[in-house]
């Protein structure tokens, strides 16, 4: 929705977190009348908004929709929420924060989605742009609302985009987009893989032949979605390359561009693991599509060490290495992580809230790489049902007890891997808190 159309409009913003507050401030700047609500009775309006918006704590918003020109939900609000069903019944438009931001941006937008690898790839591209002397804004689902790009002196926007953010877009149009992979995740919200894929595909549906779409050609579902793309498609993967893109070999990433072909040795890259090889290949293609010189893009790979809670080494005690992969919140992420370890030397700590996904797709890799599994929390029984026929599975209710059990099973030379394949919210606020708890427990063993 154009800024001019927001002048004088009465808009309902749902959610009093960082995204909701950013939306409220943006709308006020456009001349809108803002009603901000949050379902928590303890919610308190931000001081700089308190005198400018109508604030409702302990209100999910369904009774506030009538008469509004627009509803803007925070990403955590599902499409089945009563407030959004009410908006649909009354014919009130619903748009996401990323839609408002993308419509107002005056600089090129690069958007990255996929089930796994989004954050690492997004940060890599941002670093490559900075190495080329550009001034990128890097945010979105990383934790910084896209609207904040409008407040900064930037020449490019690089955004991690989730399926939750794509639920309510109409004209979202990135100059360069990427779908890294698609595995079973968030089915508790989206219902099935077909619906999940359709939502992910919205990242490129407004692209034109002048735009670029980067895809993982080894992912059959991603290839199927890309069949409808209007933009120029470049691909990365391990299979033979046709056209422009990147191919991952055992020792290098080979890139074929419009006028040049070059290879990047993997031995010098700071990131480890097959999943990171894919992230690096995708980032190279994305950066090149934005005009980043080859030398600048490649230079970043030698020093980029990855993100917190994604295959992060947090301790080594009595010959046991502790790896925090708390950001691995789905089965696909677990599979990617396991492939980087020797056979039979992993003590796997997994569990949490399962989000409706099956654990069976990881069974073969768990059997190959894990010597034992300790499952905890809401998903413990489901994990045991899926894997106990191929590897010993011990079940614990509490995360701390599961950590202790995993440590007791470990011997020198093992890796104690937290790769939960689940959301954290059964026992933690978010995956960051879960990872911090794991690191504290591991580091406490050596104190």
- Asked about 118 being catalytic, the answer comes back as yes
Tell which residue, 368, 316, 314, has the closest CA to residue 345.
368
Find all residues with CB under 8 Å of 447, minimum gap 6, and list them: none
Catalytic hit among 25, 56, 68, 186: 186
User: Measured between alpha carbons, how far is 17 from 76 in angstroms, rounded to an integer?
Assistant: 10
Task: Write down the catalytic residue from 141, 181, 276, 330.
Answer: 141
Residue 319 burial (CB count, 10 A): 10
C-beta neighbour count of 167 within 10 angstroms: 19
CA–CA separation, 447 and 444 (whole Å): 5
Q: Residue 28 and residue 12: Cα distance in Å, rounded?
A: 12
Residue 278 phi/psi, 5-degree rounding, is -65, -40
Q: 3-state SS string over 99-120? A: HHHHHHCCCCEEEEECCCCHHH
Query: Would you list the DSSP string of 338-367?
Result: HTTS-TT-EEEEEESB-TT--SGGGHHHHH
Q: Is 141 a catalytic residue?
A: yes
In three-state secondary structure terms, 389 is: coil
3-state class (DSSP) for residue 432: helix
Q: How far apart are CA 390 and CA 363, in angstroms?
A: 7
Q: Which of 25, 56, 68, 118 is catalytic?
A: 118
User: Can 398 be counted among the known catalytic residues?
Assistant: no
Hey, which residues are catalytic here?
118, 141, 186
């Amino acid at each position: 929705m154009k800024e001019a159309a927001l002048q004088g409009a009465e808009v309902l913003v749902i959610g009093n977190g960082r995204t909701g507050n950013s939306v409220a401030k943006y709308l006020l700047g456009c001349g809108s009348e803002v009603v901000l609500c949050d379902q928590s009775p303890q919610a308190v309006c931000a001081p700089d908004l308190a005198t400018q918006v109508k604030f409702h704590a302990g209100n999910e918003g369904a009774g506030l929709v009538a008469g509004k020109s627009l509803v803007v939900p925070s990403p955590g609000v599902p499409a089945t929420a009563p407030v959004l069903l009410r908006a649909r019944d009354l014919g009130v438009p619903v748009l996401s924060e990323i839609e408002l931001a993308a419509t107002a941006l005056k600089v090129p937008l690069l958007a990255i989605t996929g089930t796994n690898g989004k954050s690492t790839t997004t940060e890599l591209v941002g670093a490559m742009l900075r190495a080329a002397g550009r001034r990128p804004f890097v945010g979105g689902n990383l934790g910084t609302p896209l609207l904040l790009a409008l407040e900064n002196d930037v020449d490019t926007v690089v955004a991690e985009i989730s399926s939750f953010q794509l639920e309510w877009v109409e004209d979202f149009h990135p100059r360069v987009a990427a779908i890294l992979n698609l595995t079973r995740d968030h089915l508790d919200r989206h219902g099935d893989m077909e619906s999940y894929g359709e939502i992910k595909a919205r990242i490129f549906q407004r692209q034109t032949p002048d735009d670029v779409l980067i895809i993982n050609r080894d992912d059959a579902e991603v290839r199927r979605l890309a069949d409808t793309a209007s933009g120029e498609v470049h691909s990365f993967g391990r299979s033979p390359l046709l056209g422009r893109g990147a191919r991952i070999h055992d020792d290098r990433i080979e890139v074929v561009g419009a006028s040049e072909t070059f290879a990047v040795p993997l031995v010098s890259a700071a990131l480890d693991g097959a999943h990171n090889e894919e992230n690096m290949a995708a980032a190279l293609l994305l950066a090149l599509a934005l005009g980043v010189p080859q030398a600048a893009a490649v230079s970043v790979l030698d020093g980029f060490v990855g993100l917190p809670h994604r295959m992060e080494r947090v301790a080594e005690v009595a010959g046991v290495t502790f790896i925090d992969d708390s950001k691995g919140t789905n089965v696909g992420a677990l599979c990617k992580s396991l492939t980087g370890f020797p056979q039979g030397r992993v003590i796997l700590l997994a569990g949490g809230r399962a989000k409706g996904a099956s654990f069976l797709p990881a069974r073969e890799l768990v059997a190959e790489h894990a010597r034992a599994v300790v499952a905890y929390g809401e998903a413990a029984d489901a994990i045991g049902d899926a894997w106990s026929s191929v590897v010993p599975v011990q079940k614990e209710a509490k995360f701390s007890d599961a950590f202790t059990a995993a440590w007791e099973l470990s011997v020198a030379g093992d890796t104690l891997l937290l790769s939960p394949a689940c959301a954290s919210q059964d026992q933690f606020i978010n995956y960051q808190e879960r990872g911090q708890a794991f690191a504290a427990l591991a580091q406490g063993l050596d104190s």
